Amino acid sequence: MSVDTVSLSGWGRTAPTTAVRFRPRTHEEAAAAVRGRGPRGVIARGLGRSPGDAAQNAGGSVLDLTGLARIGGVDASGALHCDAGVSLERLLRVLLPLGWLPPVVPGTGRVTVGGAIASDLPGLDHRRSGSFARHVSALELLTADGEVRTVLPGTALFDATAGGLGLTGVILGATLRLRRVPTALMSVSTERAEDLDDLLARFTAGGDRLPYASAWIDLTARGRATGRGILTRGEHATPDMRPAHAGRTLLSPRSGGARGRFRLPGCPPVPGGLFGPAPAALYNEVRYRGAPRARTGELRPVGAFFHAADAYPDANLLYGRGGLVRYRFTVGYGQEETLHRVVRRIAGRRSPAVRAVLQRFGAADPGGLSFAAPGWSLALDLPAALPGLARFLDDVDEEVAAAGGRVCLAKDSRMRPEAAAAMYPGLAGFQELRARLDPTEAFRSDLSRRLGL
């Protein structure tokens, strides 16, 4: 097991802190690191894709689990056991040629299985499939006493661990229930919406016939075009949809990844950020006008459909030296006016938002700190150095909480503890269970200290 002292941050690069990093290769090495933790505790870390500080531990220890990356075989029922350090991107490459898919596919493959469970990530078909942990049959959890427990769904410990951000223990492995897919292709429909009302109507008009759906919103558009966007929906293509000339190419393991990768080799963060209000508005205008008014039946590789953003792995460098804040919130059905007000407020202050994704969620997941709940979810990225951003987002927090909504903890880098307590009614129960299971607070993170979790 290698050990070093390193400065770590989330993908948003907003608040780097220094910790001792352990890189175990076995469960025994991971247990030894937990038993030998210092007074500042320990937290698990995967690929560091969380934009905030959930996988940082200033002055303490961080357990880098990327060395635990074994993948077992798939049985006839579609059950697969794998280590927590396996990335979803790699899982996709391995499983697609066999006709299987991870149970929930979020918007990036650059996240580990352990991270997907600890964040209880939702995918584009949440209304049908729920979040990631709903498809976990069992998990192996390293607890504060250095012991490894098998934890099953339906137990209080499982529900606290799903979405628990690594604060109940270290997830070492899991058994997943996979889904069968007929090909490695998606049949995709795209349509433009003139404003937010039009976009919401288009979202609901099709029901769930096409299970995967999300929309990009132009948050720089104002006036009658406020909230205009591009709705993208998809379903798994059947063999008869595959073009005759495709041959085996689109069914190969390589079809699981996003098409191409645009890197900025050796490029430091742009000092003031690439996206000011005017460039962001121009970019959004070109993107909106360049999308088809309506198109159906476009075939895309699975990876290109789900993980298009992974083609730009260094995009976080474009937001300036201060990094980016990813703000993701959800409000329930019937609270659409709150969504309208937030979109109008962002557009009105000319915030340079070029990434903004709207989704629909279904039934809430059982995790006490799980984010997804029935309603609308909007996620957007903003330069952290924007003047007045902290106060502006504090005000939005209050509006979201007043509507019964919540902000995603796994993405957060700046929320106040009182806001988290107001948004998550299961927080008190989570804290009580954690106090019983881990009275010395062996598992801590910068996020847990900041929010009092």
How confident is the model over 102-160, as pLDDT tens digits? Answer: 989 999 999 999 999 999 999 999 999 999 999 999 999 999 999 999 999 999 999 99
Confidence band (pLDDT; 50, 70, 90) for 261? very low
Range with the poorest average pLDDT among 181-195, 271-285, 404-418: 271-285
**Kind and range of the H or E element at 156?**
helix 156-161
d(CA 273, CA 363): 38
pLDDT at 149: 96
**pLDDT at position 262, please?**
43
Mean pLDDT taken over the chain: 91
In this prediction the pTM is 0.93
Residues 337-360 pLDDT 10s: 999 999 999 999 998 989 999 999
Beta strands in 135-285 (DSSP E): 136-142, 148-151, 170-177, 179-180, 185-193, 212-217, 229-236
The two structure tokens encoding residue 438:
């881990």
Tens-place pLDDT, residues 389-443: 999 999 999 999 999 999 999 999 999 999 999 999 999 999 999 999 999 999 9
The string of DSSP letters for 384-421 reads TTSTTHHHHHHHHHHHHHHTT-EE-GGG-SS--HHHHH
Residues 6+ apart with CB under 8 A from 300: 185, 186, 188, 234
**Residue 172: which of 368, 369, 11, 28 has the closest Cα?**
28
| Cβ neighbour number for residue 166 with a 10 Å cutoff | 28
